[in-house]
Each structure stands twice: as C-alpha cells, then as structure tokens.
Chain A
C-alpha cells in the first residue's frame, strides 16, 4: 500500500500498534499515545469521530486503573485481564484497517466508524457512542469469553467477577456526563429495536443495559466456544447487528441523540 488511510501519521501509527500492552497501565499508555496521533489525522484532526471515541475510552480506562490501584475490585486479576483483552480487540481492529473495501479482517462495526475519519464531520457524542457500541456490543462478549477461558473459570451471575464487571457501569456513568436520562431512553429504544429483546430492556439502563447484553452474549458464546463454526456464525451475527446500530448512530438520525 503506497497510500495509507492514516496519512502523515502512518509511520507513528504502525509503530505504536507494534506493541501489545499486557497490563492496564500499558493500555492507558497506549491509548494516551493513540489520542495524540489520532488528533493529527487530516482533514478533521481532533474533530474526527474516532478521536471522540478514543478520548472517552481513555477516560474510562483511566477510571478502571484508578479503581484497580484503589483496591476497589473483588477480583482484580480478572478485571485486568479483561481490560487488556478488551483493548487488544480495539487495537486489532485498528491494525486491520487499511481503508474501505480493503480490510477483510476488520469487523464491519468498526469499519463503519473508521471510514468516517476523513469526514463528513459528525457530532462528538454520537461518534463516541458509535465507538462504544462497536466496542461493547461486539468486542466485549468475546473479550469476556477469552478472559474466562484463560483464567479457568466461567461467567456465572452474581459471582465476584460479575460484580466487578458491573462496577464499570459506574465509571461509564461518571465518564459520559452527556448521557442524560432522555438521551438514554432514546438510545435504549434504538438498541432494543436492533436486538429485539424487550424483556432485557426493562431491567437495564442504557450503557448498563448494553453491557448486560454483552454479558448475556458472552454466556451464550461461552456455551458454544468449542464449536468453531457456531462461534463464527454468532460473531458474524453480532457484527451485523452492531454495525447496523453503529450506522444509525452515525447517520443524521444520530443527531437527535445529542
């Protein structure tokens, strides 16, 4: 490829993505560096939608790190592994991104956001939410399964790990002051339309709701994880659903959320 989607920061981008962080401090470090690089991608510079997402993600991960240092989690080894594995998927998507139609290994849900980097401009909040959507609705269930598998335990409701996992919702709530009640309701409605699971909807709230969907999806994936073709099918399904939702968030329709 002679021309890179990253333009003048191509080299910096590929250098940064060479490293694979293996603990939460390293993830924060990588996201910080990424924030700087993303802010220099023309033509929108710091106004590009990925920048908006990365910023939110960085804030949230810093929040996680702070709580880890503060000894706030019951099973910090689990949460650290999850955080690292979760971030790895975002970095993987970035690595796989070479432009529209030339990134067969980049999940569609991420492709949707990435191809908006050169414009047209869209509002920061829906952009950040499109990223959150990709990361939580698509990446998170797989990150959960991999983490549980690695630690030799399984996703059980009401376990220490489940409680720690739910704590992240609080961090989200603090990190997204823009996510007010009214907005959340609308977003819920959207997600709900996409996922078609009304029963779950009534129990949850927005990001929290989405993250619980991710937990449920992880439990579902857990059951079929030894069956590679079934996992692939589920992966494609999740990618499709999340990509459609992401498309909506980035469309003019997404504006109504602001």
Chain B
C-alpha cells in the first residue's frame, strides 16, 4: 500500500502519534520486545506512519526490516518476513526443509539476528490483516522473546478487517493487555487538521472550499490530498467520490501509460520491471516513458524492488473499470511472464492462472505450492492449496482421488476436523477409494482429534472388523483404540484392548504400534492398581525402541515411561532419571529435538515437585536452549515461571508470564489455567489480593468440572488469597469464599470416583483448602494443617508440606498450645525452604519466628533482630524501620539485588534506602555502615 517515497504530501496531525509510537517501540518489556499495532481505515495514513517511524528510527541506529503481506488470498507461509529478509540481502538462501516447525522458526530468527547484528531490530509489517497463519505465529514467537532477538514490531492492520471474524481480532485483544504492546487507532483528521493539509498542498484556499473538502473526505488524509490537488489544479467542481477523481485522471493519461497502470493494477505488487515489460509488451524506451507518465500522474510509485500503485484505494477503483476479458488477458500474460522467467513463486503463479480463467494450468502450481507449504509446516496454507486444487479439477478427473486424500490429511493436521471428515466422505465414495479398513482408521483418527470419542471408538471397531483389514492395520487400529480408551479414563476396557493390541503388534505391528500399545497397557494397569505390571510393560517398550533406534519410537517410549513414573506412580526421582536419560540418548543421536524438550520438561517439573529447585532450574535452562516453540515452549515457560514464583524472583516470573500470554494470544486453551494459577500465586506474594482473586475466579469459570486436580489447585490458591488478605487486615470477598467452598464440596463428592493415583493428589488439595478455610475463619486450628503436611509428605512434595508446617506452627503458637512441637515444625519448614531456595516462603517463616520469638536454628541468632521501637539515644534511632532492615541486610554482606529479593522491594528502592542511610549515618561505604550497625546492635 506504499506510496512513492519522494512524493509524500506534508504529514499533518500525526506529530504526537509519531512520537508516541517511537517511544512505545523503544520501551521494550521484560522480554526485550515491544510491539505497536496501528489500526485504521484505508487511506487514513497507516503506511505513511510506518514509513516515517521506520525512517526516524533507522536514523537513530536501529536496524530496520520492512515487509508487506499480500492480498492474493493464498500467500506462501512466512511470506512478508522472508520477503523482508530477501530484500535486505538478496543472496539469502531459500529456507529449506527443517526438522520440525520449531527449527524453522529458529532458522528465521537466526537470519533476523544476523541482520540486526548488535543493533536493536525494528520489524515493520504492512497490511498485517493479510498475513498467513505462519506469519502470525512467527510474530508471537518473536514477541515472546523465544527468537532470542531484542526487537520491536510495528504493524499496520486495516480496521475494516477486524470487524468480522478475523483471527487478528482475538490476537490483538489478548496482546493489548501486555505492557509492551500498544494498539494505536489512527482516526481521520478533524476539521482544523484537514484545513491545514488542504492549505499545505493547494495554498490560499477559501474556508468554504476546505470545508467542502472536509465534508467529502470525512477527514481521510488520502482523499483530502487528492481533493486538495483538484482544487489547486483549478478543477471547478470537486468530485464527490474517490472513484470520480481517479477516473477523470485515468482519461487524461497517454494510452501507453494507461496500459501500464492497468497492468500494475492486475499484478501482485511490487511488479518487477522485467515482468512489466513482458506483460505490457512495450519496447524498453516506450515502457520507460509510459511509466514516467504514470508516476507523474500520481498513479504508480516506483521503488528498487518494483512498481506499485500509489494506494490500495486506487487499485480498488481501477479494478471495477477493467473489463473481465481484459483482466483475464493481463493475468494470463503475468502467468506466462512468470513461467518464462522460471523459479516463480507458486502461490503467485497459481493466483494469476486462476484469474486468467485457466484453472487447469493453475493446478500444477497449486499442487507445488501445497507441497512447499507442507515443507514449511504451514499446514493451514497447505490445506487451502489442496482445497483450491480440488476446486480447480472436475469431479471425474482421476487425480481427484489423490488430491482428496491430501486435502483430508492436511485439514486434519491444521485442526479443520469437519472439513477433514467431509473430504474423507467424498474420498470414500470414489471408485478408486482406499480400502474400507484404511478409511475407517482415518475417520477414527479425525473423529478422535475432533473430540468425538464415542464415534471414534465405533470407527476403530469397524476398522478391526473390516474384511480387508491387514494384520498390520489391525495391530495399529487396536493400539490406537487402546490409547483412546486410556484418555477416556476407561481403564478396564483399555487394559483389555491394549493386551490384545500388544499381541497383535508383537506379531505384525510396527515398533510405533508396539510402543503405543505398551504405553496404553502400562497406564491402564497402573490406574487399575497393578503398577508393577504396567511398569514392566513400558520398560520393555523402551527396550524395543532402543533396538529399533528410530528417534520417534525412542522419544515416545521414554516419554511414556517418564510420565508414568513421575505421574500416576509418583516415583518422581526415577521418572526424572528416565527423562534425563532419554533426552541424553536422543541428544547423542543428534535428533528428536522436540522429544528432548518434552523429556526435559518432565524432568524439570519432577525436580520442582521433589524440591530440587536448583537442579530443576538447570534442566529447564538446558531445555530452553533447544529453542522450543508452540505448546512445548508454553509448557517450559510455565515450568520455569513456577520456579521463579517459588524463588520469589518477581521480575523473571512476570517476564515468563508475559511470554506465555503472548504465545497464548494465538490460541491454546489448555494452558490458560496453569497460567492463571501462576498469576494468582505471583500476585499473592506481592500482596495483590484482588489480582489473585480475579485470576482464580476466571480459572474456576473455565475449568472442566471433571478436572478435579486443576480445580483443587485453583481453589487452594483462591482460599489462600482470602486467608492472606484476612491476615493482612484487608477485605475478604464473601462471595468468592462461598463459591470456593462449593468447589471444595464438589471435589469431595467427586474424589471417590477418581483413579487411585489421582485421588491422593485431590485429597491433598482438599486438605489444604479446608485448612485455609479454618484460617479464614480465624480458628487457629493446627489440626487441618497437620493433616495437610502428612498428605504432602506422603506425596514427597516438600513445598506444600513446608507451607502446611508453617501454618500449623502459626496456629499453634497463636493458640499458645503445644508450643514445642510447633517450634519443631517451624524449624523443619525453615530448613526445607532454605534448602530449596524458596525465599518468599522462608521470609514468611522468619517473620513468623520473629513474631513469636522463636529461634529457627540452634546456632543462629534468629530471635528478634529488630528492637521493638527506636530507642532515642541509639545511634540507629535516626533511621526508619525499613532503613534498619536494609542496613541489617547490608551488614550481612548482601548486594542490593539480594536485599531487594529478601524484602520484596525493587533493587532501585534499595539503592535509595542505602543512600538515605549513608546520609543519616554520615558514612560513605557499605563497610562503614555495617560497622555502625554492628556496634549499635
């Protein structure tokens, strides 16, 4: 939509916006990224704003890359970003096949990093409403900081696009909640600004004339400019519409320039000179002269990479003026010109052939485009190409069968379940359709993915009964069916199926089937209280996978074993060991990046649960180095964030939560609830009860009623927030408490039907919830806390156990009963939290110890450090309470950062306190300050 760089009118009424946009782009969030999305109607000046901002930022040493999304409906994946990269460096290789989608994003990021060098990178994307799905995902990946680039994104979106059901609508709605993202709505000019612009262009215009311009343009700067030019050029009657303005100008063009304008309008911008020459069939001299005329008449803009129309609005006017036959002829010439030059963009070629009314000739390009989109994991785009191919081909064409198969599979891969099933139904009706068993199998897989488990189960049964079912297919169907039954929680049925599937697979199946059947058998046995048998089966599957040596088999087998151990069997240590061994094994083969990431995530989460947080930190760090994307990245970020919340590293926790929110702006309901739980946990450490409450309430409305574990975590967080609020002397929310109690009742009712391993976890949360309720009611009852501590000890989860001990001690000490055992509990909790590095919890334990004057360790002086009040002749009497706390920490030799973490204030605030302390004590170094403190104490 760009207009000629040198041909811009004056920029009116946007000075403030321009400054704000620049400052927002520089103001990167904790993840080192920032984004500004400019929305507004066509012609309101979005592209201009983008251009001016890019120019200004480039002048201050920012690396700038610009790309434009195409409106041809089906662009190739990542088009605008790859185009921007190629424009920057034409030598840049084409992106070739990579291992997985994550690796592709990583490749693009690496190229972007290379462009940026040591500069900050500004990525400018115009017409984002036309961006393909892959581009949107890349954008979120980069903004979440996963590309490892400090960058800002400036993108323009047509406001009209956001009114319907455009995917960007939700993306922007989610992103605008982040501090590092701004959505700027560019409004039309007001009366005064219109007047200013009219006068700047035409000069000395009568007020009533500029008033008329304002009325007719509605303040749209593009229209204002054109109308002002009309005034300047002495056209008496102002045109009523943009259409009239341009049509009268088209008439004034010399015939060859006329042809050039129409040719550019039919092309996909930017149109290269050589292509334009072939399309217009004009000799070089005449062509150049015609282009000059078109530029002079303000239709065409010329830039290094090719020609464009000055504005999209002009293209729309011209589109309706060209006869259909004329347009078809132009498109044919484009297609021929592109085919002639070789190495063409399949997507564009397909577009032109289609518009030329020669669908059959488009077919090869469409199929090629579909295949290349699949290579770039652009399944959505691939699916659209396969569908397009089907539209291009007659019902009786023999190729249709193969196309249908591809279309169904790609629809399944990009989550278009209904479409996948429809395609499959058509495929089934073909005379040369695949066999019945094959069809049932595929239908079952599609149905299962669509969440229609009951129907999927029937289809698997039908596949098994089909007369043409080969032994290998039978093994596969049985294994899939067993897996489905495990997911449905029908462990008895699953066990039976899996046993049968394992026999079938052992005889005729692939290793994948064998592994799948073993896993189903293992999990169903474990849930049916025969854990050892289940474990033995999965261990055997690992051995089989080891023999096959195939990375997928290995990855899946190790994953299942680690999940079973760390999950239902609650043998976390061994689960962690297996997960790490699996990751190492795959790393030694140099493959299976995704599996390695997932295995390390299991290890990290397991280590967190057993309280080995430092170790968990290292493992997660290693996993992040694999540069995960999508759901894997979200899971790792959540795991790491859980760790930050436990450590009390507020900034890092916020950073990871923002990154998760950024990725989830593209979809992914499954991860919203863990994110909300962490948000609540973090808000609680900061004393922001309202935030914690809101996160929990939202979580409760979005959790499935049968997911008792998630409900348990949420209810505990909610009740704890209320209890903490009460303890802090703040308002509690009676409505919230009532609802949370209902949830606890629901859990208590439902827990009976849960499988054994799950029941223990739910019981643990019910204990915690009841204990928090007693705290809210200020009963100071140690009993429920004792129960909770025991429950979590049994689950070998020291963190909630230590928390329960703290509360137990607190209740007992408040009641002044059984003080000795309370002190033991408090000390135990303290030792545990210190060992884990759970600083906020440790700080609470220390505070509680101070409050009740309890020594936390025999050799440490933890009895009240701070005297109850300042004594007048004390040398430290000049200091405030807070300053004393800071000074005490300085004397311990802590850095400002460490002090900030301990006292929950920012590093800068600590600096301010230290400055005041130095002034008041009249010292100049930390050592001197410490000496004063120690002498006085």
Contacts and interface: CB of A to CB of B under 8 A. Distances in A.
Given A71-B705, A153-B415, A153-B451, A232 B698 contact: no
Interface stretch (A7-15, A80-88, A184-192): A80-88
B739 interface: yes
Nearest to A84: B173
Interface in A54-101: 65, 68-78, 80-81, 85, 88, 92
Interface in B394-445: 415-419
A24 interface: yes
Contacts of B698: 22-26, 80
Given A152-B667, A156-B418, A232 B173 contact: no
A32 interface: no
Nearest to A147: B170
Interface string B53-95: 0000000000000000001010000000000000000000000
B752 to A, nearest CB: 16
Contact of A20 (B163, B167, B173, B418): B173
A195 interface: no
B416 A154 contact: yes
Interface string B160-171: 110111110110
A116 interface: no
Given A25-B697, A152-B667, A232-B164, A146 B702 contact: no
Contact of A235 (B164, B170, B450, B669): B164
A216 interface: no
B416 A105 contact: no
A234 to B, nearest CB: 8
Interface stretch (A37-45, A120-128, A200-208, A220-228): A220-228
Nearest to A74: B704
A117 interface: no
B164 A81 contact: no
A23 B177 CA distance: 13
Interface in B688-708: 694, 697-698, 700-705
A251 interface: no
B466 interface: no
B451 A81 contact: no
B471 interface: no
Interface residues of A, number: 50
Contact of A155 (B160, B161, B418, B702): B418
B701 A24 contact: yes
Given A142-B164, A226-B384, A75 B704 contact: yes
A148 B417 CA distance: 12
B170 A154 contact: no
B163 A235 contact: yes
A171 B248 CA distance: 58
A115 interface: no
B165 A145 contact: yes
B702 A154 contact: no
Interface string A148-192: 011111111011100000000000000000000000000000000
B668 interface: yes
B760 interface: no
A30 interface: no
B418 to A, nearest CB: 5
B746 interface: yes
A127 B163 CA distance: 24
A231 interface: yes
Contact of B160 (A71, A73, A232): A232
B384 A225 contact: no
Contact of A159 (B415, B451, B694, B702): B451
Cβ-closest 9 pairs across A and B: A71-B705, A145-B165, A23-B698, A68-B701, A77-B669, A142-B165, A77-B702, A150-B170, A152-B415
Given A154-B418, A231-B165, 15 more contacts: A20-B176, A25-B694, A68-B702, A69-B739, A71-B705, A77-B672, A149-B170, A150-B170, A152-B415, A155-B418, A226-B73, A227-B73, A228-B73, A231-B164, A231-B166
Interface of A: 20, 22-26, 65, 68-78, 80-81, 85, 88, 92, 104-105, 141-143, 145-146, 149-156, 158-160, 221-222, 225-228, 231-232, 235
8 contacts: A69-B739, A71-B704, A71-B705, A152-B415, A152-B667, A152-B668, A221-B164, A226-B384
